[in-house]
Structure 1
Amino acid sequence: MSHDNCLPRTEWDVSFAAEPREVSALRRIMRLHLLHWGLPNVIETAQLCVSELVSNVIRHVGVGAPTTLAVSMNGTNLRLEVRDPAADELPTVVPVAAEAEWGRGIAIIDAVAESWGVCLTSSGKTTWCELATALTSPHGHVRDHRVQRADALLVSYSTEVARFTGAGDSLVAQATEGAVNLIADLLHWLEAHGLDPEAELDRALASFEAVSAARR
């Protein structure tokens, strides 16, 4: 089953005034979008990078500076861009004393990102960084053995109906364990495809209960 284009990830951006109160809102937005993109494994790192990039604008460009956060895919890397109007304030990695309360932003990004840089533009500059993901393709899902197992089972369910008969107690116990593992793998599969596992599990339980009630 090919998943090269199973989860389109369209570039998005949001404009805001660079103020401290905006940082927490941007972190929430990042979390929601990355869950929708099936990228829960990079949420914390992406939130950290956005916090540092925006804080850098606040500190060196000024509170209230018009700023834009843009998020896209570059191959299988997640690309974060923060655009501001100051072309003369270029971020650099500088030595920071252990007791310093600020100044580590770009050093942190340099440590956690695959790459980062600054581009001058006609309206200012763009500071960007790219984070590695576990994607199989820009619009595919994460490389995860649990998701692959669920994929294989979904293929088999689409081509044949499995029947289980004549099992002894030990075989039933093994099958039960397998069923639990299957449910867990399918929840990982849902998450990898940008869906809410808890919501879909609730929906499945509601369907199960409705069928069970109809049989009584």
Structure 2
Amino acid sequence: MHDPGPDSAPAPAPTLELDLLAVPKVVPELRRTLSGWHPHGPHPDVQLCVSELLSNVIRHLGEGTPVTVRLTRAPGRIRVAVTDPDPRVWPVLRTAAGDDETGRGLALLDAVSLRWGVEQGPDSKTVWCELGEG
């Protein structure tokens, strides 16, 4: 997991914030919603990261888990954040073998993002990543 380091500053207010239940049918719906969010058209890496983070909640916490999805634009960057109500279950970056059917989501997120991490709250956690604007 990438550490935000001492130079991290609080994120600006979200430009898109959605409270929803993490269920499989929401993933493609959210990708469609996001295709119109970016002023320059669809941003495939944003769609990929949101899909992977939401899918991780479904897989590891269960269908119907309430989440908040936030997207924030700052100069040159987009921050994607998904908050869920379980501060104990943290994502783990691992290497999937060639025949593994799961385990590549965080590796994809790690590959396309500038950095990513987890913030723990008293009753929740937020998994976030930052992507280049373009």
TM-score (norm 1): 0.54
CA contact (8 A) 1:27 1:47 kept: yes
Q: Which of the pair has more CA radius of gyration?
A: 1
Aligned to 2:36: 32
Deviation at 1:10, TM superposition (A): 6.0
Aligned-pair identity in percent equals 38
CA contact (8 A) 1:39 1:133 kept: no
Instruction: State how 1:177-188 maps to structure 2 within 5 Å.
Output: none
Aligned to 1:60: 60
Q: How many residue pairs end up in the alignment?
A: 122
Question: In 2, distance between residues paired with 1:123 and 1:107?
Answer: 26
In structure 2, the CA distance between the partners of 1:33 and 1:57, relative to structure 1 (3 Å rule), is same
CA contact (8 A) 1:65 1:84 kept: yes
Structure 2 SS opposite 1:20: coil
Structure 2: runs of 5+ lacking an equivalent: 1-12
TM-score (norm 2): 0.85
Question: In 2, distance between residues paired with 1:25 and 1:52?
Answer: 14
Amino acid at match of 1:72: T
Question: In 2, distance between residues paired with 1:122 and 1:72?
Answer: 23
Amino acid at match of 2:24: P
Deviation at 1:95, TM superposition (A): 1.6
Structure 1: runs of 5+ lacking an equivalent: 1-8, 135-216
Instruction: State how 1:1-216 maps to structure 2 within 5 Å.
Output: 11-34=15-38, 38-40=39-41, 43-134=43-134
Greater relative CO, 1 or 2 (CA 8 Å, sep 6+): 2
Q: Which has the higher helix share?
A: 1
Q: Which has the higher strand share?
A: 2
Which 4+ residue blocks in structure 1 deviate beyond 4 angstroms?
none
